Amino acid sequence: MKKIKSILLFIIFLCAALPAKPQGLENPDIISVEKKQEIVTKLKGLDLDLLLEWNGRIYIVARVNDFIQLQKQNIPFRLETAKFYPFNQRVLSTGGGINGEYHSYQELEVELKALEKAYPQIARLYDIGDSLEKRHIYALKISDNVSLDEEEAEVLFMGCHHAREWITVEIPFLLAKYLVENYEKNSQVKSLVDRSEIWVVPLVNPDGLEYSIQVYRFWRKNRRANSDGSYGVDINRNYSAKWGYDNIGSSPDPGLEIYRGQAPFSEPETKAIRNLFFQKNFQAMISYHSFSQTIMYPWGYSLEPTTKDKELREIAARMSELIQAVNGRKYEYGRAGTLLYITNGDATDWTFETSSIPSFTIELPPVDMIHGGFFNAEEDIQSIFNENLPAMLYLIDYSCQHLKSKDTSQKEIVRNFSSVPKVRRETKD
């Protein structure tokens, strides 16, 4: 009993050092338990906030009552708080809003509209659909004849399927900012913009991001109210590619972090991406996530290679080389199912299955939780963008050089979705 009291006193001491949360919410700790069958069985009977599985351990957001439950069940645990709350992230700067230099939904909306207003000849903002809580999902199109739909390579960059991955909003947004600001200054940028149509969707999950900022930093899913009283669908398990293929790559349990929803494209956020995709002739796609410093390509649902494995591997290898040349940071690359973990219903498998285009998930730094996990220091935002920029530009150029007409299979899919609403140009101030 004396040992238990000492542990609890230590936990309370650590909680006092964690970032402030909205009034009325208790500061949690992060713990981990070994992923053994007997432990997993015991955990199923407890009402715990399971965060993620990593490297043979299950990570849990735990409060004082949770520690008592674990002790009663004789489940050994390891305190992991320091891994998730790096010292340099305990206090956000006052340069931005409540989340420092990272963008909230409203801040991003203002900046996207400002880019369109400042560069109307090459930037046009579209509302491609609304979230559950009626926030707009924005896509910024960048091209020389931006009001026209030309026979040019179209490339899609997406961020923030998962709410807690704040850095993934910044990288595609900074790409858009870089392209429009350097169009008249940089001949390479001008050439790429003149030959392509670049679509940037920096925030796929606006409701989840706001919840992560305002309420619970580790929130992952959207804000769907589920029938069992839980909240959220993992929208990167809600696409139709092998949706529900197994219960490893996604889950039918609404309470879990990888809950796939009731049906493919049941969520307005994934419908918005589907609608945009079917109206365009995309040649390549990157979906940004964090963390682990990896470049992954299909398949995610299987360990087997696709018919274009060689091409995808060569592109990923080149992007990895370009990234490493900037800051010396190495991004491993390979098929998603073998490099990281099995997924089904994710965006990257879906765009590849639909159009056979080069499709990638890039997991941004850090490499692991020990180096920060979902927390990236604000001063690292620019350096992470800088190292990813050459890979982005390379993929745009690659798409221009390998421009393909929309194949028959995708045309058939478009016909099947003839009722898909057109993307709306955002004209409100």
Q: Are residues 71 and 121 in the same domain?
A: no
Q: Are residues 169 and 303 in the same domain?
A: yes
What total of structural domains would you count in the chain?
Answer: 2
Q: Are residues 271 and 419 in the same domain?
A: yes
- Which domain CATH number covers 344? 3.40.630.10
Containing domain of residue 331, as a range? 105-425
Model pLDDT, residue 218: 85
Q: In the chain, how long is the greatest CA-to-CA distance? A: 73
- Cis-peptide, bond into residue 291, ω within 30° of zero: yes
Q: Are residues 347 and 318 in the same domain?
A: yes
Residues with Cβ < 8 Å from 115, sequence gap 6 or more?
123, 125, 140, 176, 177, 180
Model pLDDT, residue 63: 77
pTM over 0.75, yes/no: yes
d(Cα 129, Cα 420) in Å, to the nearest integer? 11
**Phi, psi values for residue 200, rounded to 5°:** -120, 120
Within a domain: residue 90?
no
Query: How many CA atoms lie within 13 Å of 199's alpha carbon, on the beta-carbon side?
Result: 28
Instruction: Give the model confidence (pLDDT) of 280-333 as tens digits.
Output: 999 999 999 998 999 999 999 999 999 999 999 999 999 999 999 999 999 999
Within a domain: residue 96?
no
Is 363 one of the catalytic residues? Answer: yes
Q: Are residues 55 and 181 in the same domain?
A: no
Model pLDDT, residue 406: 64
From residue 182, give the alpha-carbon distance in Å to each of 88, 178, 390, 394.
Answer: 32, 6, 14, 16
Q: Are residues 42 and 156 in the same domain?
A: no
d(Cα 316, Cα 359) in Å, to the nearest integer? 10
- Cis-peptide, bond into residue 366, ω within 30° of zero: yes
Q: Residue 12 pLDDT > 80, yes or no?
A: no
Q: Residue 60 pLDDT > 60, yes or no?
A: yes
Q: Are residues 78 and 130 in the same domain?
A: no
Q: Are residues 169 and 65 in the same domain?
A: no
Q: Are residues 320 and 416 in the same domain?
A: yes
Within a domain: residue 294?
yes
Within a domain: residue 99?
no
**Which helix (H) or strand (E) is 282 found in, with range?**
strand 282-290
Model pLDDT, residue 70: 86
Task: Out of 33, 55, 85, pick the residue that ends a domain.
Answer: 85
Q: Are residues 134 and 231 in the same domain?
A: yes
Task: Out of 52, 85, 118, pick the residue that ends a domain.
Answer: 85
Q: Residue 345 pLDDT > 80, yes or no?
A: yes
Within a domain: residue 97?
no
Dihedral (Cα; 13, 17, 21, 25), 10-degree rounding: 0
Task: Out of 23, 54, 85, pick the residue that ends a domain.
Answer: 85
Count of C-beta atoms within a 10 Å radius of residue 103: 24
Q: Are residues 109 and 56 in the same domain?
A: no
Q: Are residues 126 and 79 in the same domain?
A: no
| Active-site hit among 363, 378, 387, 426 | 363
Instruction: Give the model confidence (pLDDT) of 236-289 as tens digits.
Output: 999 999 999 999 899 999 988 899 999 999 999 999 999 999 999 999 999 999
Within a domain: residue 95?
no
Instruction: Give the model confidence (pLDDT) of 174-230 as tens digits.
Output: 999 999 999 999 999 999 999 999 999 999 999 999 999 998 888 999 999 999 888
Within a domain: residue 93?
no
